[in-house]
Each structure stands twice: as C-alpha cells, then as structure tokens.
Structure 1
Amino acid sequence: MVDFPKGLIQIYTGEGKGKTTAALGLAIRAVGHGLHVYIIQFMKGRGGYGELEGLKRLQPECQLEHFGAPGWVHKGENIEEHSREVRKAFARAQEIIVSGEWNIVILDEIFNALWFDLIPESEVLELLSMKPSHVELVLTGRNASQTFIERADLVTEMVPRKHPFEQGIMARLGIEY
C-alpha cells in the first residue's frame, strides 16, 4: 500500500448529477496506480446500482459496502430502519478509517444521512478528526453544510444546468444507476 504524505478531505456536493460518479472515477484512477480504496454507501437501500457489480472487478484493491433500508425516507418520518442502517454504515466507516489500512475511503451519500438527521453532524466531524494523516477521505451527497465545506481541502459543487429528466427521459440503466 502506498502512503500519502498527507491525506486530504474531499467533498462532492450540490444538486446536480455526478457526485457518486466523480468519487467512483477517483477510485478507478487510484486502483490503476496501485492504491487501495474502500467505499461505504449510505442510504442506498435498493439494489440495481451498476457500481455494486462493476467495482467487484477491481477487488481486492477496491472494496464496496452498501447500506440502506428499502424505500424512500421522508425527513422526520419513517426513519427507524433507515437510522439503523446509517448507524451500521457509520460504525463500519469508523472502523475502516481508523484502521489506516486504506489509501482512500469514500463515504458515499453521507451528507444525505446528515440532512435527514439520521446521524449527528458532530459525530461525523469527530470522525474527520480521527482520520490518520495518510488517508484520503471523500464525502459525497447533497447539502454539505458550511462546517464541512470549511473543513475540507477540496470541494466540488455539482450544479444542474440541464438534465434529460426535464425532457421526460427517466433514469437509465448504466448511466444514472
């Protein structure tokens, strides 16, 4: 495993498409250079995501764990099972990050879990403080708070300008999921 002299904190946020895709692109690039990547997906409760199968081809250098309850969560409602899944994902994230065994750790959709109040912001901020200095940490999802934006070394905001959905084109296999 290659050690970075300084692992940074990256954020991909915003209302536009491409946050997870950007993080996964980084994972592919890293594996191509012999780095080890661990991805934990929050709040993706239904199957059918292409990355679940596609990233298996990059094992053992790239590992992905998927957490989430089935169905949609509504803020303040119907959150018990979703909260349990987020807690499991977060516990796993803590274990993986603190181990220092992975060059890059991606917490996909962590900001959605925060926005839905399924985990306190203070716990995620504490986790950032526990990150070994050589580990690169990537956080994705809509609604990254100003606190996280200020804490990060790199922030990219995806801004929608045009989307096929506006023309009645629904999510497409292999493109949107």
Structure 2
Amino acid sequence: MERSFVHVYTGNGKGKTTAALGLSVRAALAGKKVFFAQFIKGMEYSELKVSQYIKNIDIQQFGRECFIYKKPTEEDIEAAKRGMDICEKILKGVEYDLVVLDELNIALYYKLIPLDRVVKAIKERTPSIEVVITGRYAPEEIIEMADLVTEMKEIKHYYNQGVQARKGIEF
C-alpha cells in the first residue's frame, strides 16, 4: 500500500467487529496478510474459524471465556497485556499488511492496557501496516489519532425484545 491509515469503529450499535471482519476478508482476498487480535473475547465465536477458509487471516483471542461486566480481574489484565505484547511486535514487523485490534477500546475503557502504550505502538508501527481498532467508548486520543472514524449507533435492536445472541449472526 502507498500509505496506511488507522480506522476506528466505535459506538453502541452492532457491527463493529463485523465491519472489521469484512475489511479483513476483503484485504485477504486481495492478497494482503491480516492479523486479527480479539481483546476481551475468549468465547468460541464463529469468526475464529476464518483461518480454515482464508489462509491470509490469522486470528487470536486475548480474553477469557466471560465478558467483563464489573471490575476486571488479574486474569483479564494479564490476558490483555499478553495480547498487547504480541500486537506490538506484529505492528513493528513486516509480516502483516492489516492489523485489527478488536475490542481494544473496551480494554482501554477498563484500563487493562495503558492508553499511552497503545498510542505509541500505533504511531511507531511499520508505516505500511493498516490498523483497525474496534469497540465502544473509543478514547478521544484514539479518535484524534485515527484517519477514519465510524460510529455505529443503535437505533433499534431485537436484543431489547429478549432475542438472545445467535450463532453465525452475533457470535
């Protein structure tokens, strides 16, 4: 790529991870190599199978089997730090063209990773690496640093009528 950009998909609406996955598939099918890091998440999401179908996408989770609803545990913090250690190396490398930091904004919101560490890693990345950051509550520093910011806004969601997450649609 001639120039790389930082994308942020944030907001309270559905579709942030889905948009990042769509971009990842597009990039991989164009011959790009993609690293998809999922912070916070540790459950069995359907997208974890993407590497079986598209060889240019590597996906790893850096979370536990449950989502954080209250105070993060030491395990949550350690999983996020381990993930950030790996992502920092990847962002300074040359193996990948696109790096997705899925739910990183949530990890920042819960203070699992210091914001200055994330900003530094993105600013000091290999210049050719495109970066996508997803998750609600994008900090102002991340929004300012980004070249593209999309806010997913919930207008209506069937979850509010009691519909549970469905395999292949929400997970």
Aligned pairs (5 A) from 1:1-177 = 4-47=1-44, 49-59=45-55, 61-75=56-70, 77-177=71-171
TM-score, normalised to structure 1, is 0.92
Shift in alpha-carbon separation, 1:78–1:33, aligned structure 2, 3 A: closer
> Unmatched 5+ residue regions in structure 2?
none
Runs of 4+ with deviation above 6 angstroms? none
- Give the letter aligned to residue 98 of structure 1: K
Give aligned pairs, total: 171
TM-score, normalised to structure 2, is 0.96
By how many angstroms is 1:90 displaced?
A: 0.3
- Find the aligned partners of 2:69 and 2:157 in 1 and give their Cα distance: 24
1:42 and 1:89 in contact (8 A); partners too: yes
By how many angstroms is 1:63 displaced?
A: 0.6
Give the stretch that moved more between structures: 63-72 or 101-110: 63-72
Identity, % of aligned positions = 39
By how many angstroms is 1:5 displaced?
A: 1.3
